[in-house]
Amino acid sequence: MTTLHWADNRLEIHKVIVGSYDNNVFVLRCRETGDAVLIDAANEHERLLELCTTLGVRRVLETHGHWDHIQAVPQIREAGYEVGINSADAPMLKACGYDVFIDDAEIIEVGKLRLEAIANPGHTPGSVSFKIQGAPVLFSGDTLFPGGPGATRGEGSSFPTILESIDHKLFTLPPGTIVMPGHGVDTTIANERPHLQEWADRGW
Considering the chain, what is the average pLDDT of its residues?
98
Range of the domain at 54: 4-202
Pairing, β 11-18 against β 107-110: unpaired
Q: How far apart are CA 29 and CA 3, in angstroms?
A: 12
Give residue 161's pLDDT band: very low, low, confident or very high (50, 70, 90).
very high
Find the CATH number of the domain harbouring 172: 3.60.15.10
Report the number of distinct structural domains present in the chain: 1
Q: What is the pLDDT of residue 85?
A: 98
Q: What is the pLDDT of residue 22?
A: 98
Residue 23, H or E segment: strand 23-30
Mean pLDDT of 171-199: 98
Q: What is the pLDDT of residue 197?
A: 98
Spatial contact of 78 and 72, defined as CB atoms under 8 Å apart = no
Mean pLDDT of 103-130: 98
Q: How far apart are CA 72 and CA 21, in angstroms?
A: 14
Spatial contact of 167 and 193, defined as CB atoms under 8 Å apart = no
Q: How far apart are CA 30 and CA 67, in angstroms?
A: 29
Please count the helices (runs of H) and the strands (runs of E) in the chain.
5, 15
Mean pLDDT of 90-96: 97
Mean pLDDT of 56-85: 98
- Altogether, the residues listed in the chain come to a count of 204
Give residue 192's pLDDT band: very low, low, confident or very high (50, 70, 90).
very high
